[in-house]
Chain A
Amino acid sequence: MTLLAVDWLLIIEKLILIAIIVFASLGIALYTTFAERKVAAVLQDRPGPNRAGPFGLLQPFADGLKLIMKEEIIPTSSNKALFVLGPGLAMTAALMTCSVIPWSSHIEIFDRKIDLQIADINIGILYIFGVVSMGVYGMMIGGWASNNKFSLMAALRGASQAISYELAMGLSLIAVLMLSGSLSLKTIVDGQMAAGSYWNIVYQPLGFIIFFVCALAECNRTPFDLPEAENELNFGYHQEYSSMKLGFYLFSEYINMIMSSAVMASLYFGGFDVPFLDESTLAPNIAAIIGVAALLTKIAIFIFVFMWIRWTVPRFRYDQLMNLGWKTMIPLALFNMLVTGALILLKAGV
């Protein structure tokens, strides 16, 4: 079935996959907001949301409905086009990451092999990196277009924080690339799944810690949530936003969290690999389902750790944040990179 030299079945297959993954991410993000409130409640010894539905399970829908129903206010002195563009950009950049993450191996339907990854491009990690660097614009444009000094300050803080921590993140990634010899996330996961090899966390404990801290900073999670430091900046870069546009900003933070958890799981914790299980002995469809479940479990654990940190650690001061980024994280990442390179060369016997 080819028309215009295009394999339409492939396009349909990919579109369905994109739809499933995007809606699944949105659904998971919806319940991540619920989990956040429940985790906070448990850590603070209170019941948390428990009115809407059994155990408060309908709470995220109630929140969403509330956000949609609220009056939408666009400040008169704002830059209207950019004011609307900001939240959209934040959401798009957050969702774009999911296209290169290998969610599982392949499934077989009617003799057709379908990879559970939207695009296995040979620059997968760099793509993620590029999308992360785009995420800054949603914040900056929103903050500037609001025409509010607090918003602008918060946006500039957020952007400089993101740029600073991107550097250390990239440097810690290089060590992983040296180990796996590929930029494709699929190849990196396959390398960790292969018999006789361990997850990358075994080889890269320091690299993982650096990456994790940088991921916290990139997602604007406490202790790095300075762009929305209420006590200094009222509410941060989305202060002038209301209704669902505010919802988009808040929601994109949760999607960012899910995506960075997925990336960390793929890079350091074997992706959809189940430890001590040889997937190649199972039927491909069953192996794929087990793989998805394994990856989602790893993501859930990471998200819990994110929340645990948020409700335990107080916020940094801004100069402490910058010092940590430039004077601790980057030198550590450079050190990690050098040691990894030296060990690989030693092992190769040069």
Chain B
Amino acid sequence: MSITQFLFYFLTVLALFSAVMVVVSKNPVHSVLWLIAVFFAISGHYILLNAQFLAIVNLIVYAGAIMVLFLFVIMLMNLNASTEPQKNNWLKLAGVIAGGCFLMVLVSLVKQANELNNIAVTMGTGEIGLIKNLGKALFNDFVVPFEISSVLFLSAMVGAVVIGKKA
């Protein structure tokens, strides 16, 4: 087993275990911390695919900024295991069925996608994830969608400021 394979399996197990722990944890703060572990594992996968920029941006944006805000809200509302509302069993059953259906749709989609058939993932190769190539692709081939999404971000920011001013 090469070191890449070893890392792949390690990160996969870590990601899946942490993801399960996010759902299973009774304490919301623990859930958030496990979710951060998931982001770390996924960033590790990005690095294995030679997409270093994506990996670090994933960490900065999701693990570094968004999850801090999650923690903020949970800590300020003082949610913990005892105050978490207990859902009744019917609701849990409905959740399991809905989630299972969604999983089935996703799996069948992946299975049928033509691009994914007969293609093995090659680790550590591919240059598109490096910042130079990514930047060139974003600013040459996809410049209009990129700019539109930046306008979207700007409007979201303005909206947040307006709401903040009202309160």
Q: A and B, one complex?
A: yes
Whether a CB of chain A sits under 8 angstroms from the CB of B131 is: yes
- Sample of 7 further A-B pairs with CB below 8 A, known A4-B1, A126-B60, A134-B59: A127-B56, A137-B36, A137-B68, A140-B68, A140-B75, A156-B76, A160-B72
Which residues in B have their C-beta under 8 angstroms from that of A166? 64
CB <8 Å contact, B52 and A156: no
Q: How far is the CB of B24 from chain A (nearest CB, A)?
A: 15
CB <8 Å contact, B52 and A133: no
CB <8 Å contact, B56 and A144: no
CB <8 Å contact, A123 and B131: yes
CB <8 Å contact, A156 and B53: no
What size tier do the contact residues of chain A reach? 20 to 34
Known A-B contacts A122-B130, A137-B36, A156-B76; A4 and B3 likewise in contact (beta carbons under 8 Å): yes
- Top 3 closest A-B pairs, CB basis? A133-B64, A130-B59, A126-B56
CB <8 Å contact, B64 and A159: no
Which residues in A have their C-beta under 8 angstroms from that of B33? 82, 141
In the bound complex, what is the Cα–Cα distance between A136 and B64 (angstroms)? 8
CB <8 Å contact, B52 and A122: yes
CB under 8 Å from chain B, chain A span 143-165:
144, 152, 155-156, 159-160, 163
Whether a CB of chain A sits under 8 angstroms from the CB of B29 is: yes
Question: Which residue in B53, B63, B75, B130 is a CB contact (below 8 Å) of A144?
Answer: B75
Q: A: which residues have CB within 8 A of B?
A: 4-6, 79, 82, 121-123, 126-127, 129-130, 133-134, 136-137, 140-141, 144, 152, 155-156, 159-160, 163, 166, 183
CB <8 Å contact, B75 and A133: no
CB <8 Å contact, A159 and B29: no
Whether a CB of chain A sits under 8 angstroms from the CB of B71 is: yes
Question: Closest chain A residue to B67 by CB distance?
Answer: A137
Whether a CB of chain A sits under 8 angstroms from the CB of B152 is: no
Question: Which residue in B2, B27, B71, B130 is a CB contact (below 8 Å) of A4?
Answer: B2
Which residues in A have their C-beta under 8 angstroms from that of B29? 79, 82, 144
In the bound complex, what is the Cα–Cα distance between A163 and B71 (angstroms)? 13
Whether a CB of chain A sits under 8 angstroms from the CB of B57 is: yes
CB <8 Å contact, A122 and B131: yes
In the bound complex, what is the Cα–Cα distance between A130 and B57 (angstroms)? 8
A selection of 16 A-B contacts at a CB cut-off of 8 Å is A4-B2, A5-B3, A79-B27, A79-B29, A122-B52, A123-B52, A123-B131, A129-B56, A129-B60, A130-B56, A133-B59, A136-B64, A140-B71, A144-B71, A156-B76, A163-B68
Q: How far is the CB of B156 from chain A (nearest CB, A)?
A: 15
In the bound complex, what is the Cα–Cα distance between A166 and B68 (angstroms)? 13
Question: Which residue in B53, B63, B71, B131 is a CB contact (below 8 Å) of A134?
Answer: B63
In the bound complex, what is the Cα–Cα distance between A137 and B34 (angstroms)? 13
CB <8 Å contact, B65 and A133: yes
Which residues in B have their C-beta under 8 angstroms from that of A136? 64, 68
Question: Which residue in B57, B72, B76 is a CB contact (below 8 Å) of A126?
Answer: B57
Which residues in A have their C-beta under 8 angstroms from that of B63? 130, 133-134
